[in-house]
Amino acid sequence: MFAFILRRSGVMLLTVLALTFIVFWLTNLPPNLEKLAKSEASVRMTDAEVASWLDRNGYGSSTLNRYGQWLGVVPGWTREEDGRFTGRCISGTATSLDDAPTRCGILQGAWGYSTVFKQPVADVIKRSLSMTSWLMLWVMIVMVPTALILGVLSGMREGSWTDRILSGFAIITTATPEYVSGVIFIVIFASATVGISPVLTELGWIEGKTLFQGTATAAMDKITFWNFALPVMTIALYGIGYIARMTRASMTEVMSQQYIRTARLKGVSFRQVVMKHALRNALIAPFTVIMLQFPWLLNGVVIVETLFNYKGFGWTLVQAAGNNDIPLLLGCSVVAVVVVLITQLISDIGYVFLNPRIRLS
Amino acid sequence: MTWDPTQPILEIENLSITFFTRLRQIPAVMDFSCKVMAGEAMGLVGESGCGKSTVALAVMRDLGKNGKITGGRILFKGQDLTSMSDEELRRIRGSEIAMIYQEPMASLNPAMKIGAQLAEVPMIHRGMSRADAWALARQIVADVRLPDPDRMLNSYPHQLSGGQQQRIVIAMALMAKPALLILDEPTTALDVTVEAGIVALVKELGEKYGTSMLFISHNLGLVLDVCDRLCVMYSGEAVETGNVAEVFTEMRHPYTQALFRAIPLPGADKNARPLISIPGNFPLPHERPNGCNFGPRCDYFQPGCCDAGEIAMEPVPGSDRHATRCLKWQEIDWLAPPKAAHAREKLPPGEIVLKMDDLRKYYQVSSGAFGGGMTKVVKANETLSFEARKGETLAIVGESGCGKSTFAKVLMGLETATSGKIMLFDENVQSTPIQKRGADTVSKLQMVFQNPFDTLNPSMTVGRQIIRALEVFQFGKSDAERHARMLELLDLVKLPRAFAERMPRQLSGGQKQRVGIARAFAGGAKVVVADEPVSALDVSVQAAVTDLLMDIQRENGTTLLFISHDLSIVRYLSDRVMVMYLGHVVEMGTTAQVFAPPYHPYTEALLSAVPIADPTVTRKHIVLEGAIPSAMNPPPGCPFQTRCRWKSQVAGGLCEREMPPVVSLDGGHQIKCHLTAEQFASMEPVIRIAAE
Amino acid sequence: MQDLSWLQIILKSAIAFAPVWIALALTFALSIRYRRRLGLYGKLFDSTVGMIGFAIVMFWIFTALFADLIITHDPLVQLSGMKNKLPGTAIANAAEGVYPWYLLGGDNLARDVFSRMVMGAREVLKIAPAATVFAFMVGITLGLPAGYFAGKFDTILSFIANLVLAFPVILLFYLLVTPEIVETGIPIWFAAALFLFPVIFFTVLFNSRFHMLPARRNLYVGLTLLIGLWAWAGLAFNKDPTGLFSMSPNMLNVFVSVVFVNSPGVFRIVRGLVMDIKARDYVAAGQTRGEGPWYIMLWEILPNARGPLIVDFCLRIGYTTILLGTLGFFGLGVSPESPDWGSTIDDGRRLLAIFPHAALVPAIALMSLVLGLNLLADGLREESLKD
């Protein structure tokens, strides 16, 4: 078991390196750098001026070398000009190199400086992640139990009316990406002119103009049901359908197994058959699915935060990418990739724990 | 409600079961009646699809969504099960009636400890406390003679061997001391020597607890071993019922008779007394004929009589509840010998076509669950030496893990040998993978596979698959030539030419197996490896396919390497036999030599384990303890020493230390054993046929 | 002209879709009549779910095909006074020959929402199925040997596949679908690599099948190489002299990204299926007959994996549609004028709370197409299991 986790972590580390390098390479392509130079210095630079600007600011070396610097395993670049030093690890200019550290990459905790937010990347990411973790927490609280219950209920008796209705619901939600469900939700619940809000206002059932708020900006200060329900529902909905379908498939498969028949013919009541015999076996597959959902959930986060104007991680990512903010984009990528990989690791380990057949062999 | 123990425990009256699908209704069981008295073991025999398992599930009232009982009653201790509510059923299931299934692994919950699964039964039915239930479970586990019960209870199913799992399933069924035990092919998935242990256990426990049994099997020999009475089923109907001795010796239904003539009993011989297969095919449920279902395949069929209308069960006078569903049973001369199938000449063996010399095949296997760790060497084949002659049938016998499949792979060139030599005709092929062998060599050495449902590509027509083989073997110059040859091959395996356009799913198991044979012989194969070619087929089809193989062999002078675990069929068709255990050849000789003493102790156990459907045969019962060791972890010394009953007679623990030498007895008979010549001489035959 | 009531809007829209209804009716009449001879496709008509899914999917396919006949206005033309107008609004002072209403209203640039929705179907269906086909080619060509040979090759490919799958899709798009990337020419090389797979696939397919019949082999392989390399040169490098095969750099970039994102998923499915099927006896029979590994993979294993692959194909087109919508929603890789559903939703969402129709119409259209594909996949799965 320990060896397994070790091996898995090794592969994970390799994956992180490979992925971050790809991101680094893609964000540091010559056209990106040219754009950066023009936005930082002057838009009307000639090609030669761009080249010299890049050279002066440490972009002259090879991609691999710069990746090493960014990572913090290669000494940061330095440059001497008229007795003044500039460099990766020096803010502004310095008179000597002695005070500055030689290496300053993400390993040393130096994530760089965001060009859009004019703040250290680490601060920006920390703030946005805390925003997003609230969102994710509520999404998980809503999504996982709902999806599992729906899936188990419909898979328990295949072909029954409960099954058909729940499966129908699940299939519709899997066909509704966040940018569609978000739009529909806003129209139905958060518009003062259409949907159900005007009706409810007229009846006097709700105070204010809308049932829910169509933007989650207010939730950044204080989360309320009123301002947070729609973004959470929007992300959760797609996942609910997907996980419920997995759970249902897994449950119907388990329910058709011989050992369920054995249990039934032992005289175990249907309730107990489901609870004691089927559930554990049926939840192995969905568990891994929930964990592997994270890359897709991140999609949802980006869309929903953009749609509801909630300044979390997804929103920050969009800002960084849209404004060619290379350090921030790199930072976001590292966080995203690491989060995804950690969930994958948890999924692997959890699978082994849930499944005695693997654990003990 | 009280129940009079002189009354039947289970009484099924005119039961009819139909499955409702969207396309049609499929009557699965029609007008089925039987009685099981207290303490009695009732056998339900028939080929696949005859409805025997459906009857069992109907008794449990577990026919699924589509199955409905459309008529009749099932009385258990006088109560009608067909009209019980779910709650009443639940109280009976597991406590009064328990069931044991074919696949032990599948019937145990993989995520629950054995103990919890066992203890559940008394906890539900008798409201026992958890601790008491576990104690009872421990006692019953000891009762089914599993070693180390405490460890067993705390294990998960996958940690046990197949035989142990089946013992656990039996223990589970016995937890509530049920009045009726239903066993649905309980040993089919197990090896023969393991099966023998389970059968002995079931019999013993049945007597000990006084449980009545409904024993479902396709194996007549097994039924003879276990049951007091039996009921033969054919195509959804009971055709004959009676006590075992009577039905076996004085059968009164043509199907029962045909069944007995189709199974290889001791004394049958491929040349002098060949098997008689049942002509035609098992009718599909919606294509059953009028009148007698067996009519179209029956030798005694009389138009206008047998196909006129419903036929009822008719009691045979002066017998022990013996009845038959045949209109003509009184006219048929039951003692008349079968129309003698023409005896054939025995082929004299020709020159040597295949010679193996000290062949070894080792695998490197990495141990540890998650890769990494140390690599282990698995010795799948050790010092294999033999030769096979033209026109000869050499049987390779052994149970799972004995290395017979590895041997076939190496011979075919799918794997290369670790060391040793294989001479095929005059070519050394031990290290030539199949890709490097010429089309000629490949076409001369072909294989027939075990599973008929797997042997043909499901998405290609039968004709296309044979033509593909011809193309690969570079037969013929044009498509037309190959097509003509393909039709000839269909003729050869006695299939209608129209089958060329069929898809495999439209064929029955036996027909598929015939196509597989045609494909193997497409390039005029000289050596054919047949890997259990008939073990997955029904008895009546088995005989026909075996016969076909023999016929083709006789015509072409093919050398047949017949891999099998079924000693009956091996005795029937092979000239020489090679017995394998854990990668070693433990005994080799002519069929007569291997089937008569002196035996290798393993051969002796194997012979005694195979049930024989003939009451005149007496068999010594030698039950092997324990399971077959894993090839990953073979015991030191003699591979068989862990289960050998002769081990104590070899002085000084030699068996545990040294690999025995190969002892050559007269006539080329070889045995790999430490026993002395005197000890060999003292061995008694396992099987005795009573004098007529 | 009067503004239309809701009933009139529905009626007029239905009339506008007339060519689609006719085509649908024909398809269904013919298919149901001959369904017993049509294999799995025919069996689809035994399943209600499958039939509904198929109807929805075909509705959008026919809509895309006949879009020119259906649209009531040019989707790019702005009519003054029609900005943010509600569905059914009549056009003031409509010129002769101009359809007198905006059936589903006008958007914030005063364009006809109905016509944009119809044209959007064409945009989506131009890319999604083709991209999925290419993803399948790549996934199959790599997944077959990975599953069949296992070993090192499999380990490396699986690592790469997991690498791509671990990448959050949205991030990948933000990195790949940018004008800067197009400038570097990376998409072209990417396309060159990805588009080569179909050519390799068919060449190996025919070669393994006919290698012992050289005349036939040369014909098939020759034709494949000729057509394949011609299309390849056109699509990847825009060097097709006849101009039959070509793709704009922006479109190429989107296409390649979508193929790239989808391929690892297909790879994993194919690999799993192969590992399962390769243990069958008919594969062993092929091996003992001396067949080459590629014959066994392509002709013995692949056809028997078709059931799950067809189901996945349908689901994956839906997934690709969602991805394309996502791209549009973030304005990646599409021209700002494009009527594709994703960017239309993005345009419309700014005034969502006041004028919902501009975003709602494409949203529902996209949802219904994906729903149709999911239902179709469900129906196919159900029927293919029934055999």
The Cβ of residue A337 has, within 10 Å, a number of other Cβ atoms equal to 24
Do the Cβ atoms of A267 and B92 come within 8 Å? yes
Prior bond of B598 cis (ω within 30°)? yes
Residue C190 to chain A, least CA–CA distance (Å): 13
> Which pLDDT value is given to residue A115?
85
Name the residue in chain B with its Cα closest to that of A258: B107
* Residue carrying structure tokens 């016998």: B397
Residue B86 to chain A, least CA–CA distance (Å): 9
Cα separation, B616 vs B240, whole angstroms: 21
Q: Is the model's pLDDT at B123 over the cut of 60? A: yes
Q: Is the model's pLDDT at A291 over the cut of 80? A: no
Average confidence (pLDDT) over B537-562: 86
| CA quadruple C328, C334, C340, C343: dihedral sign | positive
Q: Is the model's pLDDT at A26 over the cut of 50? A: yes
* C304 in contact with chain B, both atoms CB, cutoff 8 A: yes
Mean pLDDT estimate for chain C: 87
Cβ neighbors of C117 (< 8 A, separation 6 or more) are C104, C339, C341, C344, C361, C362, C365
> Which pLDDT value is given to residue C129?
92
Of A26, A193, A303, the CB nearest to C326: A303
Of C285, C292, C304, the CB nearest to B459: C304
Q: B440-467 pLDDT, tens per residue?
A: 888 888 888 888 888 899 888 999 999 9
Confidence of residue B374 (pLDDT cuts 50, 70, 90): low
Which of B55-59, B537-541, C20-24 bottoms out in mean pLDDT, i.e. has the lowest? B537-541
CA A158 to chain centre: 34
Q: C201-245 pLDDT, tens per residue?
A: 999 999 998 888 888 889 999 999 999 998 888 888 887 777 777
> Which pLDDT value is given to residue A9?
84
Asked if A314 and A296 touch (Cβ cutoff 8 Å), the reply is no
Mean pLDDT estimate for chain B: 84
> Which pLDDT value is given to residue A360?
56
Q: Is the model's pLDDT at C139 over the cut of 70? A: yes
Do the Cβ atoms of B442 and C300 come within 8 Å? no
Q: Is the model's pLDDT at B402 over the cut of 50? A: yes
Percent of chain A with pLDDT over 70: 98
Spell out the SS3 assignment of B270-331.
CCCECCCCCCCCCCCHHHCCCCCCCHHHCCCCCCCCCCCCCCCCEECCCCCCCEECCCCCCC
For residue A163, the chain B residues in CB contact (below 8 A) are none
Average confidence (pLDDT) over B291-296: 84
Q: B237-277 pLDDT, tens per residue?
A: 888 988 888 888 888 888 888 888 888 887 777 777 778 88
Residue C285 to chain A, least CA–CA distance (Å): 31
Mean pLDDT estimate for chain A: 84
For residue B437, the chain C residues in CB contact (below 8 A) are 290
For residue C282, the chain B residues in CB contact (below 8 A) are 454-458
* φ/ψ (deg, to 5) at B429: -115, 5
Q: C53-68 pLDDT, tens per residue?
A: 999 999 999 999 998 8
Residue C50 to chain B, least CA–CA distance (Å): 16
Q: A47-97 pLDDT, tens per residue?
A: 888 888 888 888 888 888 888 888 888 887 777 777 777 777 777 777 777
Asked if B660 and B639 touch (Cβ cutoff 8 Å), the reply is no
Confidence of residue B692 (pLDDT cuts 50, 70, 90): very low
* φ/ψ (deg, to 5) at B553: -60, -45
Closest CA to A213 of A336, A345, A323, A309: A309
Closest CA to A181 of A266, A107, A112, A238: A238
> Which pLDDT value is given to residue B368?
45
* φ/ψ (deg, to 5) at A183: -60, -45
> Which pLDDT value is given to residue C274?
93
Cα separation, B151 vs B115, whole angstroms: 9
* Residue carrying structure tokens 């049958």: B268
Cα separation, C287 vs B408, whole angstroms: 13
Q: Is the model's pLDDT at B371 over the cut of 70? A: no
Of C171, C183, C375, the CB nearest to A171: C375
> Which pLDDT value is given to residue B251?
85
Best mutation site among B436, B442, B457 for testing chain C: the one with the most C CBs within 10 Å? B457
Q: B145-197 pLDDT, tens per residue?
A: 888 888 889 988 888 888 888 889 888 888 888 888 899 888 877 788 888 88
Asked if B586 and B598 touch (Cβ cutoff 8 Å), the reply is no
Closest CA to C49 of A167, B2, B254: A167
Q: Give buried/exposed letters for A149-163 (b at 16+ CB in 10 A, else e).
A: ebbbbbbbbbeeeeb
What is chain B's alpha carbon radius of gyration, rounded to the nearest angstrom?
27
Which of A97-106, B86-95, C58-67, C274-283 bottoms out in mean pLDDT, i.e. has the lowest? A97-106
Cα separation, B185 vs B205, whole angstroms: 17
Tokens of B310: 């419903």
Do the Cβ atoms of A7 and B65 come within 8 Å? no
Q: Give buried/exposed letters for B262-271 (b at 16+ CB in 10 A, else e).
A: bbbbbebbbe
For residue A330, the chain C residues in CB contact (below 8 A) are none
Tokens of C248: 């704009």
Question: What's the one-letter identity of residue C199?
Answer: V
Q: B68-84 pLDDT, tens per residue?
A: 888 888 888 888 888 88
Q: Is the ipTM of this complex over 0.90?
A: no
Cα separation, B50 vs B63, whole angstroms: 15
Residue C365 to chain A, least CA–CA distance (Å): 10
Q: Is the model's pLDDT at B537 over the cut of 60? A: yes
The Cβ of residue A324 has, within 10 Å, a number of other Cβ atoms equal to 21
Cα separation, C117 vs C100, whole angstroms: 18
Name the residue in chain B with its Cα closest to that of C305: B459
Closest CA to B508 of B549, B536, B470, B479: B536
Cα separation, B455 vs B539, whole angstroms: 19
Do the Cβ atoms of A175 and C367 come within 8 Å? yes
Helix (H, G, I), strand (E, B) or coil at B671: strand
> Which pLDDT value is given to residue A112?
84
Q: Is the model's pLDDT at B373 over the cut of 60? A: no
Q: C77-105 pLDDT, tens per residue?
A: 888 777 778 887 887 777 777 777 888 88
